Structure 1
Amino acid sequence: MRQGLSQKDNFPRTVLGLGIHSFTAAGDRQPVAKKEEAESQGTSSKFDVQGFLKETKEELDKVVWPTRQQLISESVAVVLMVVLSTTLIYLVDNFFGWASRQVFG
């Protein structure tokens, strides 16, 4: 069994809360403190609402929104597939109900 895994479930010890470790590509276990990890990522402890909203707007500007025609046609396709699926399930259910009534009376 590798060192960084628990013997019980093969989960990393960080999942089980038994220690904080990072794993290299070779599978070597290296302890890492939470504070050092946060500092290495350059994050601060405060939440910047204005920055969050700005980044959210920037990400939403990158989204390619569907045209009205695409939205309508894809919505119709979804509704048709739902109707088809429910109809198939209804028919199969009725068939098995009929078959069970024939067998069990």
Structure 2
Amino acid sequence: MAKKDTKSAADSSVKRSADQSKNGSESFDAAAFSRGTREELAKVIWPTRQQLISESAAVILMVGLSATLIYFIDKLFGWASRQVF
């Protein structure tokens, strides 16, 4: 039941924002922004420590492999251009 109340409160703040923009008197409401930000962050599924470590390792490995591949391709093209010119 509390979720329904939260949703209706969020809907009313969105309606107020829409009404303000129609009237041309837009103003920044820090409290509403903070509430909305907290609500959105509560929806995020945060990774576990193990997921974070393994996925970070995968990213570092792929970046290293990509950089190595680009390095060797650059060396190949450098060698080929020296042969031609």
Show the counterpart of 1:42.
Answer: 19
1:66 partner letter? P
Show the counterpart of 2:3.
Answer: none
Show the counterpart of 1:102.
Answer: 83
Show the counterpart of 2:6.
Answer: none
**TM-score when normalising by structure 2:** 0.68
Q: Which runs of 5+ in 2 are unaligned?
A: 1-15
1:42-68 per-position Cα deviation (integer Å, ceiling 9, x unaligned)? 235222111111111111111100111
2:77 partner letter? F
Structure 2 residue aligned with 1:84, among 41, 44, 65?
Answer: 65
Show the counterpart of 1:20.
Answer: none
Identity %: 65
**TM-score when normalising by structure 1:** 0.56
Q: Which runs of 5+ in 1 are unaligned?
A: 1-38
Between the two proteins, the alignment pairs up a number of residues equal to: 66
1:68-98 per-position Cα deviation (integer Å, ceiling 9, x unaligned)? 1111111111111111111001101111111
1:72 aligns with 2:72: no
* Whole-angstrom CA distance in 2 between matches of 1:102 and 1:46: 66
More helix per residue: 1 or 2?
2
Show the counterpart of 2:5.
Answer: none
Question: Secondary structure of 2:41's match?
Answer: helix
* Whole-angstrom CA distance in 1 between matches of 2:57 and 2:30: 38
Where relative contact order (Cα < 8 A, 6+ residues apart) is larger, the structure is: 2
